[in-house]
Amino acid sequence: MPVDAAAKRGRTAWTSVAVAWFGSLAAIVVWLSTTSPAMLREQLAVLQPWWLDATVLVAVLICVCAMPRVNWASVRRHMIVVPLVALGLCLTLFVAPRTNRIFYDEQIYQSIGQNISDVRRAQVCNDGSVDSGRLHCVDGAYNKQPYAYPHLLSLAYRIAGVHEWVAFAVNAIAMAFSIVGVYSLAWLLFGDRATAFCAGLVLALIPQQIVWSATAAVEPTASLGAILAVLAAAWYAADGSLLALASFVTVSAYAIQFRPESLLVLPVAGAIAWPRLRGDLARPRGWWGAVVFAALIAVHLAHLFAVRDVGWGSDGPRFSLAFVSNNLQANGRFFLGDERFPVLFTILAIAGVAGASCVRERWLMVLWFLLFFGVDLAFYAGSFNYGADVRYSLMTYPPLAVLAGAGATALARFARRRFASNAAVLVVATVLLFQFLWYAPSVRAVNDTAWAARADVAFAKKFAARLPVNAYVLTQNPGMFQVWGVSAGQMSRAVMSPNYTSWLLAQHPAGVYVHWNFWCNVREATQPDLCRRALTLGQATLIAEWHERDQRFAFYRLAPAAVSP
């Protein structure tokens, strides 16, 4: 090709990508700056399901295209990961009790997943009926949480139907994929199967990883998303193909949408990919990747913009240096001497950092750990001793497990040289397995945190199973009833519109019930007053009641109020 023609094609390629790049940024800026907050939330409720579906579809297509390139002989050499996955699943399914541990967030995530699946809207449903197993919502509200996890639940709901157990199954599967991901990442970074094996084993044995994988919380999948983003970056750095670049872009775009702090994985993934990315950014294709990434995260950026002023349960600042001292004491002690985390893993991780080989890779794992460890220090609820917020520690486990795997391998190699034994890795693995027995009681325990909300949900679930078809429940937590297949709505909606209550009574001959729940017992006056006013919407008859400690839970059936003669 003539030199002038090649130069012209190069200028055309750069011009095209520049127009696409700046056009995309300009479109996002104009959209956000010219749309009112209320209208933006309404648009996001519609856009989120389609945007996330598109991202997952692209990821699936990349996997399909990558299948012919898989070296199955190499895969067979790594089948040692299978017993690690089996171990993690057994501990999750049979040792940790399957229960909710963060109320009512786990119920909210499931409810949003149901809305994405059945209604095709990213929202919580404040008034919805369940007919033939499908939700029909007449009043929804856009929520502050990022939407990747509810979207993931919605995919599972579309396959298996809307059931409470599906969310627990998703997190158990996330545990399995996290072990495979950590194993694969350690192999790509260090090129050593023993290191990969020990890293996967460590992750499978971390007590809180097991505990939270037996819940319906977002953290197990958020952690998995970070693992997959970094793994895709490592594959791209090693392979450099267009397919690997597309994987890096797509997986990273989805991974940052699980939790607000999930964005912190980008510096780690970017640093791992940089040796390859630096060359691609000197060519148009690297910037086309950036354009695609911007397009895939556009809706998430709009979400962060839309909810930037929404409160997160704090009257004061959400982030402040004033929180660092107390949070550092609690969270530092968690890794250095706490019954919830084996200090042996910390020691092995420190040994892994001290290793002489693969220095860059080791320090990138340290960066990963410090980013997610550090963000909690400045967060008002970032202490691992605060309520159930130890779940935030899950985001730090993957890099720690990789480093601990490197440390365990270094220890095994030292033992092999010192004692001339080929069983050194097996000895280290046996010690790791045995020391888990010291932490198994804490894994099996359901602590007293949120006991009142737990009792409320347990009582409500039992009663919901007895409700006749076409019954309707007024409550502050309608989403969990809708997931259970019961029509439900916000109590406040009925209290503010008594005529609406009359319509409900006419439409639901099987009964309209008032749920006297956890929020009816709180000391703050607004919610208990709302519950009392709900009981005046008709003739209220007590149907079921449960007392636990100082808490009272009940269901009342409403009948039309008697008309005075």
3-state secondary structure 263-276: HHHHHHHHHHHHHH
- Could you report the per-residue pLDDT of 204-215, keeping only the tens digit for each? 999 999 999 999
CA distance 301 to 238: 30
Indicate whether 126 pLDDT > 50: yes
pLDDT band at 418 (very low <50, low <70, confident <90, very high): low
Q: Which tokens is 518 given?
A: 């956890």
Q: Up-side HSE of residue 201: CA atoms within 13 Å toward CB?
A: 27
Contact at 8 Å (CB) between 489 and 474?
Answer: yes
> Is 259 in a helix, a strand, or coil?
coil
pLDDT band at 565 (very low <50, low <70, confident <90, very high): very low
Q: Which amino acid is at 465?
A: A
Q: What is the DSSP letter of 383?
A: -
- Could you report the per-residue pLDDT of 38-66, keeping only the tens digit for each? 999 999 999 999 999 999 999 999 999 98
> Is 364 in a helix, a strand, or coil?
helix
Q: Is beta strand 512-516 parallel, antiparallel or unpaired with respect to 551-559?
A: antiparallel
Q: Up-side HSE of residue 185: CA atoms within 13 Å toward CB?
A: 34
- pLDDT value of position 543: 95
Q: Which of the residue ranges 65-74, 176-185, 383-392 has the most confident prediction, judged by mean pLDDT?
A: 176-185
Indicate whether 293 pLDDT > 50: yes
Instruction: Using the Cα atoms of residue 246, residue 247, residue 248 and residue 252 in order, give the sign of their dihedral.
Output: positive
CA distance 332 to 353: 17
What global pTM score does this model have? 0.93
Domain range list for the chain: 35-444, 451-559
CB atoms within 10 A of CB 70: 10
Q: Is beta strand 472-475 parallel, antiparallel or unpaired with respect to 512-516?
A: parallel
What's the mean pLDDT in 378-392? 88
Closest CA to 153 of 144, 145, 162: 162
What's the mean pLDDT in 374-390? 89
Contact at 8 Å (CB) between 554 and 544?
Answer: yes
CA distance 245 to 253: 12
Alpha helices in 307-358 (DSSP H): 324-336, 343-353
Contact at 8 Å (CB) between 422 and 194?
Answer: no
- pLDDT value of position 562: 56
Q: What are the φ and ψ backbone dihedral angles of 306, each rounded to 5 degrees?
A: -70, -30
CA distance 356 to 307: 45
Contact at 8 Å (CB) between 513 and 474?
Answer: yes
Q: Which tokens is 323 given?
A: 């929180």
Closest CA to 224 of 201, 251, 249, 243: 251
CB atoms within 10 A of CB 239: 17
Contact at 8 Å (CB) between 445 and 228?
Answer: no
CA distance 352 to 371: 18
Q: In what order do the strands lie in the sheet with 472-475?
A: 134-141, 124-131, 487-490, 472-475, 512-516, 551-559, 539-548
- Could you report the per-residue pLDDT of 191-236, keeping only the tens digit for each? 889 999 999 999 999 999 999 999 999 999 999 999 999 999 999 9
pLDDT band at 564 (very low <50, low <70, confident <90, very high): very low
Contacts of 274 (CB under 8 A, 6+ apart): 237
Q: Which tokens is 461 given?
A: 């679930």
In Å, what is the CA distance from 164 to each residue of 170, 447, 485?
A: 11, 21, 10
Q: What is the DSSP letter of 521?
A: G
CA distance 180 to 85: 7
Q: Which tokens is 477 given?
A: 């937590």
